[in-house]
């Protein structure tokens, strides 16, 4: 079984040093996960660096581990960002979970015209929930990088971002004629995938985004759920990037 991964500060950690995990994460390791002395664990800073080694002490407040090795996960030259429209129920949470598990670098919440869910004054609470979901998915998938989840955009703000963004911006749309699989991806920079809510992207939004420079693409011969479309698109893009000349 893969060693459990926890998130914490590991600044200055080197082989032979001791890392202490306290706070909510430390108590979760000690009380909920019931980590015991002698068990090997991973502790990551969520920014690409981690340490691995055995636990040498357990208290109700957390654990202490000896560092046997320092690990790192380099960020690729091509990053993937997902702009996910707010969706009802737990579908947004599922989208964030899947995007984190496949290694998306950034997840942006989008208050689209057809989003049934309206965060309005609850944006901070909504973003905090998405960020917590991303942290848990990072640990579950044993990744060393937590995706950035810290902003909500309206359609006008998204359009401005498309104009200012030098990277490739793709809008998933069932009526698009360009298959995502036919794209010629750049070797570096950021590729952004925009996904609408359950009711789809409003025609006026699609027009605004395409006029700003975004490219509508299709990823399936069927209509995918808002909760899974972005993850499928990013996975396809990762595959294209891996096999290109």
- Parallel/antiparallel/unpaired status of strands 78-85 and 106-111: parallel
Please state, in angstroms and rounded to a whole number, the distance separating the CA atoms of residues 237 and 95. Answer: 17
- 15 is written with which tokens? 């082989």
- pLDDT over threshold 60, residue 238: yes
Q: How confident is the model at residue 2 (pLDDT cuts 50, 70, 90)?
A: confident
Q: Look up the pTM and report it.
A: 0.93
Q: What values do phi and psi take at 96, rounded to 5?
A: -60, -40
- Residue 74 Rama label (left phi>0; alpha psi -120 to 50; beta): beta
Query: Across all residues in the chain, what is the average pLDDT?
Result: 94
Please state, in angstroms and rounded to a whole number, the distance separating the CA atoms of residues 96 and 3. Answer: 23
The number of distinct structural domains making up the chain is 2
- pLDDT over threshold 60, residue 82: yes
**pLDDT tens track for 25-77:** 999 999 999 999 999 999 999 999 999 999 999 999 999 999 999 999 988 89
Whether residues 51 and 99 share a domain: the answer is no
DSSP per position, 153-204: EEHHHHHHHHHH--SEEEEE-TT--SBGGG----SSEEEEEEE--TT---HH
Whether residues 45 and 96 share a domain: the answer is no
* Structural domain for 127, as ranges: 78-243
Contacts of 157 (CB under 8 A, 6+ apart): none
Whether residues 16 and 120 share a domain: the answer is no
Whether residues 66 and 99 share a domain: the answer is no
Whether residues 93 and 178 share a domain: the answer is yes
CATH number, domain at 12? 2.40.240.20
């Amino acid at each position: 079984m893969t060693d459990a991964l926890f998130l914490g500060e590991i600044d200055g950690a080197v082989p032979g040093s001791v890392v202490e995990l306290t706070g909510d994460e430390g108590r979760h390791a000690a009380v909920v996960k019931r980590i015991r002395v002698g068990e090997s664990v991973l502790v990551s800073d969520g920014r690409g660096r981690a340490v691995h080694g055995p636990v040498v002490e357990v208290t109700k407040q957390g654990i202490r581990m000896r560092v046997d090795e320092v690990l790192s996960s380099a960020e690729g030259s091509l990053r993937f960002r997902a702009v996910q429209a707010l969706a009802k129920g737990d579908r947004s949470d599922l989208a964030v979970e899947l995007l984190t598990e496949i290694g998306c670098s950034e997840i942006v919440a989008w208050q689209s015209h057809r989003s049934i869910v309206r965060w309005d004054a609850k944006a901070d609470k909504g973003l905090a929930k998405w960020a917590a979901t991303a942290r848990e998915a990072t640990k579950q998938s044993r990744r060393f990088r937590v995706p950035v989840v810290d902003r909500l955009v309206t359609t006008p703000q998204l359009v401005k971002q498309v104009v200012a963004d030098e990277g490739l911006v793709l809008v998933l749309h069932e009526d698009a004629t360009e298959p995502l699989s036919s794209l010629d991806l750049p070797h570096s920079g950021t590729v952004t995938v925009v996904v609408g809510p359950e009711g789809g992207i409003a025609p006026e939004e699609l027009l605004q985004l395409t006029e700003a420079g975004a490219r509508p693409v299709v990823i399936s011969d069927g209509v995918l759920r808002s909760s899974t479309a972005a993850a499928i698109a990013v996975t396809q893009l990762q595959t294209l990037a891996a096999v290109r000349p």
